[in-house]
Amino acid sequence: MDHLPLTSPAAPAVAASLLPSQGGGRVLDAYKTALATAASAAAYAVMARSMARELLPDELRAAARWCAVFARARFGRGEKERHTIVIRHQFDTGYSENHLFDAARAYVATRIDPRAMRRLCLARSRTKEPDGSGRWNTLLCMEPGGSTVDVFGGVEFTWNCVETGGDDKKGKGGGGRPRESLEVSFDAEHTETALERYIPFVMSTAEQLQLRDRALRIFMNEGRSWHGINHHHPATFDTLAMDPVLKQSVVDDLDRFLKRRDYYRRIGKAWKRGYLLYGPPGTGKSSLVAAMANYLRFNLYDLDLSEVRLNSALQKLLIHMPNKSVLVIEDIDCCFDNAAASRNGLDMDPNYSSGSGSGSDSSDENWAQPRVAPPKARGITLSGLLNFIDGLWSTCGEERIIVFTTNYKDRLDSALLRPGRMDMHVYMGYCGWEAFKTLARNYFLVDDHKMFPEIQELLSAVEVTPAEVSEMLLRSENGDVALGILAEFLREKRRRGRKETKEEKDATEDKDEEEVAEKAA
Ligand SMILES: Nc1ncnc2c1ncn2[C@@H]1O[C@H](COP(=O)(O)OP(=O)(O)OP(=O)(O)O)[C@@H](O)[C@H]1O
């Protein structure tokens, strides 16, 4: 076999530099021999590669390639320095728990592939809520000796579960029992990423998981403190009957808010967001608040201002609200006393004409008529509340939502409607066709029905709240029957509406005639 020609452009230069002035003949020979040997080795390698390509099946070549990569990774790793962060279950004294260990364990549980583990530990614990109720948590953990790999920002982090100790010597607080640790290892060059980005990410992910799993609570004010009970309101954005575009815009707004911690810091604003929900009673304002709390997994703080007598009490309540919570003040239009009532020390405003009390009365068609008002806050003012929310309160906490609800947006103090005060105004209106379809799907799992065309037409002709529709749909478990009841209810509403319009028209005509007669007389 012929040797390959020596075509390397470097060769003549190298050869020239090797040419000594005397005895150069032997050196030159040796150089030529070396080059010829190298060239033939290269030629053999090329030939072997092309033979392998022809003779070996694809699978075998892929396996060989994998072995090469594995060997490189395995033996190459030895060359790289590895660093390890040890997260002990307990500190050395053995008395205090290491919360980072719990966070890491919860995080690693989400990264374990059970199929890749020969031994797994399954733990179930019951957490006691302050109201005495219990909650079960199930966690998949690694057993000592277990290992799993996580990739973050392109960097590989290897988690190991390690058990140490376990001898009979009763260490201080350790009781001689083995101690479990989680260790995370990575290439030394990624130490900064590990400490500054990965570990904070592990902790925030664990916090999110904990938020997701925790039982939500609703707190109500009594005197100067909050009292909470578990919050099981079933409303979610899926069950809420409202205009789909508006619903999506509320969800998007909440999502944006959650992601904007750094943004709020950068622009120097408190990380809070205000929503004003308005519309007739029974249109779902309270349900929307519950859906928001369920969506965010935030606890609800339902502030009854009639219980608050002094500004100092209000401030104490607000300061004691933790982060990640929703503050709701319902019927804000009737929370603050007017000056006259204040002077008289009255709790009730006889001229009150809000349609809503503390709960909703869906069948009340006279919601705009005068009623007995709920007690009002005395000693505190709306501007005092708003100033506190915008001022001190916003500096002592973050990630908070404030919701005000009202049946009468037009009666609200201009201070509340000022741009920048309530970030989003959401109108909760009468039940439209899309909202009805959500209710029908919720109640009877139907997307279509022979009665739908008539109901659609009736809904466009009458004003009916989602609460009224829900009430009709609840009257029977049989969808055909319930939709029939609803259609009859809507027909009756339309009949009454027409009659009232006719009576009003007749009355106006009578009045006009009377006036004409009087003028003629
Ligand atoms: N948009 C809606 N979607 C689903 N259910 C609704 C909706 N609106 C009302 N409901 C039903 O009616 C009940 C009362 O509604 P909700 O209390 O949310 O209305 P509201 O507008 O807050 O009334 P109020 O102004 O009187 O406080 C809810 O528990 C729910 O069953």
Position 240 in a domain: yes
Q: Answer yes or no: do 246 and 268 share one domain.
A: yes
Query: What is the pLDDT, as a whole number, of residue 79?
Result: 67
Q: Which two tokens stand for residue 358?
A: 């503390």
Ligand 1 centroid to residue 221 C-alpha, Å = 23
Cβ of residue 283 lying under 6 Å from some atom of ligand 1: yes
Average pLDDT rounded to a whole number, residues 152-159:
95
Residue 481 predicted with pLDDT over 60: yes
Looking at residue 65, its pLDDT comes to 62
pLDDT score of 416: 85
Q: Averaged over 79-88, what is the pLDDT?
A: 89
Integer Cα distance of 329 and 278 in angstroms: 12
Percent of the chain predicted with pLDDT > 90: 38
Count how many domains the chain has: 4
Residue 80 has a pLDDT of 81
Please tell me the distance between residue 366's alpha carbon and the centre of ligand 1 in angstroms. 17
Q: Are 284 and 394 members of one domain?
A: yes
Which one is predicted more confidently, 356 or 186?
186
Residue 221: the pLDDT is 93
User: Ligand 1 centre and the CA of 233: distance in Å?
Assistant: 12
Helix (H) or strand (E) holding 122, with range, is strand 120-128
Answer for the pair 347, 375: CB distance below 8 angstroms, yes or no. yes
Instruction: Kindly report the three-state secondary structure assignment for every residue of 149-190.
Output: EEEECCEEEEEEEEEEECCCCCCCCCCCCEEEEEEEEEEHHH
Residues 85-102 as b/e (b if ≥16 CB within 10 A, e otherwise) read bebbbbeeebeeeeebbe
> Does some domain include residue 4?
no
Indicate if the pLDDT at residue 125 is higher than 50. Answer: yes
Q: Please give the pLDDT value at position 122.
A: 80
The verdict on pTM exceeding 0.95 is: no
pLDDT at 93: 59
354 lines ligand 1 (CB under 6 A): no
Do 275 and 415 lie in a common domain?
yes
Q: Whose CA is nearest to atom 11 of ligand 1?
A: 467
pLDDT, average across residues 368-391: 67
Among residues 365, 397, 427, the one where a domain terminates is 427
246 within some domain: yes
SS3 at position 350: coil
* Residue 383 domain-assigned (yes or no): yes
Distance 493 CA to ligand 1 centre (A): 20
Position 285, amino acid:
K
Return the HEC string of 304-346.
CHHHCCCHHHHHHHHHCCCCCEEEEECCHHHCECCHHHHHHCC
Q: How far away, in angstroms, is 431 Cα from ligand 1 center?
A: 11
Q: What is the mean pLDDT of residues 157-163?
A: 92
Higher pLDDT: 487 or 21? It is 487
Same domain? For 516 and 414 the reply is no
Q: What pLDDT was estimated at residue 134?
A: 63
**How confident is the model over 37-61, as pLDDT tens digits?**
545 554 555 555 555 555 566 666 6
- Is residue 160 located within the same domain as residue 128? yes
Q: Which of 61-75, 175-189, 358-372, 484-498 has the lowest mean pLDDT?
A: 358-372
Distance between Cα 250 and ligand 1 center (Å): 17
| CB of residue 470 inside a 6 A radius of ligand 1 | yes
Provide the ipTM.
0.98
In a domain, 41, yes or no: yes
Distance between CA atoms of residues 329 and 304, nearest Å: 7
**pLDDT (0 to 100) of residue 24:** 43
Say if residue 97 is in the same domain as residue 44. no
Q: What are the contacts of 440-448 at 24+ separation with CB within 8 A?
A: 440/473, 440/479, 440/483, 442/238, 442/239, 442/241, 443/470, 443/473, 443/474, 443/479, 443/482, 444/473, 444/479, 444/482, 444/483, 446/479
Which residue's C-alpha comes closest to atom 18 of ligand 1? 284
Distance CA 166, CA 412 (A): 68
Compute the residue count for the chain: 521
Site to substitute for ligand 1 among 275, 371, 470, most atoms within 8 A of C-beta: 470
Count how many Cα atoms sit within 13 Å of the Cα of residue 54 in the half-sphere of its side chain.
5
Band of residue 363 on the pLDDT scale cut at 50, 70, 90:
very low
Lowest mean pLDDT among 358-372, 373-387, 452-466: 358-372
Confidence band, pLDDT 50/70/90 cuts, at residue 469: very high
Q: What is the pLDDT of residues 200-209, one digit of tens each?
A: 999 989 888 8
The interaxial angle of helices 199-213 and 99-111, nearest 10 deg, is 80
Q: Are the C-beta atoms of 405 and 330 separated by less than 8 Å?
A: yes
Please give the full DSSP string across 228-278, using - where no structure is assigned.
EEE------TTT--S-HHHHHHHHHHHHHHHHTHHHHHHHT--SEEEEEEE
240 lines ligand 1 (CB under 6 A): yes
Q: Which of 503, 436, 445 is nearest to 464 (CA)?
A: 436
Q: Choose between 403 and 138: higher pLDDT.
A: 403
To test the pocket of ligand 1, the residue of 287, 333, 371, 465 to mutate (highest count of ligand atoms within 8 Å of its CB) is 287
Cβ of 356 below 6 Å from ligand 1: yes
Cβ-proximal residues to 246 (8 Å cutoff; 6+ apart), any chain: 426, 427
Cβ 281 under 6 angstroms from ligand 1: yes
Alpha-carbon gap, residue 364 to 489, rounded angstroms: 14
Q: Is the CB of 282 under 6 A from ligand 1?
A: yes
Tell me if 315 CB under 6 Å of ligand 1.
no
The parent domain of residue 324 ranges over 217-427
Instruction: Identify which of 357-371, 378-392, 470-484 has the greatest average pLDDT.
Output: 470-484
CATH code of 370's domain: 3.40.50.300
Give mean pLDDT, residues 336-359.
40
Using the mean position of ligand 1's atoms as its centre, give its distance from the Cα of residue 241 in Å. 9
Q: What is the mean pLDDT of residues 279-287?
A: 96
Using DSSP's 3-state secondary structure scheme, residue 440 falls into helix
Residues 500 and 473 in one domain: yes
Structural domain contains residue 360: yes
Look at residues 427, 444, 478 and tell me which one is the last residue of a structural domain. 427
Q: Which of 242, 389, 257 is nearest to 311 (CA)?
A: 389
Beta-strand runs (E) in 407-500: 424-427
Residue identifier of the C-alpha nearest atom 14 of ligand 1: 282
pLDDT band per the 50, 70, 90 thresholds, residue 135: low
pLDDT (tens digit per residue) in 192-246: 999 999 999 999 898 888 777 777 889 999 888 999 888 788 899 999 999 999 9
How many CB atoms lie under 10 A from the CB of residue 110?
11
Give backbone dihedrals phi and psi of 15, rounded to 5 degrees, phi first. -60, -40
| Binding site membership of 374 for ligand 1 (Cβ less than 6 Å) | no
Test site for ligand 1: of 360, 367, 405, 472, most ligand atoms within 8 A of the Cβ: 360
State whether 446 and 499 are in the same domain.
Answer: yes
Q: Is the pLDDT of residue 165 over 80?
A: no
Q: What's the distance, CA 284 to chain centroid?
A: 21
419 and 501 housed in the same domain:
no
CB 493 within 8 A of CB 464: yes
Is residue 3, in this structure, part of any structural domain at all? no
- Using the 3D structure, point to which of 370, 403, 427 is the last residue of a domain: 427
Dig out the tokens for 289 from the structure.
Answer: 């608040």
Decide whether any atom of ligand 1 lies within 6 Å of the 242 Cβ.
Answer: yes
Is 192 part of any domain? yes
Looking at the CA of residue 330, tell me the nearest atom of ligand 1. 27
Counting from 1 in the atom list of ligand 1, the atom nearest the Cα of 442 is 4
Condensed to tens digits (0 to 9), the pLDDT of residues 404-458 reads: 999 999 888 888 888 778 899 999 999 999 999 999 999 999 999 999 999 999 9
Q: Cα separation of 108 and 160, whole Å?
A: 10
Are 405 and 482 part of one and the same domain?
Answer: no
Instruction: Please work out whether the CB of residue 290 comes within 6 Å of at least one atom of ligand 1.
Output: no
- Mean pLDDT for all residues in the chain: 78
Q: What number is the average pLDDT over the span 31-36? A: 51
Residue 323 sits in the same domain as residue 384: yes
Whether residues 131 and 198 fall in one domain: yes
Question: How many angstroms separate the alpha carbon of residue 284 from the centre of ligand 1?
Answer: 3
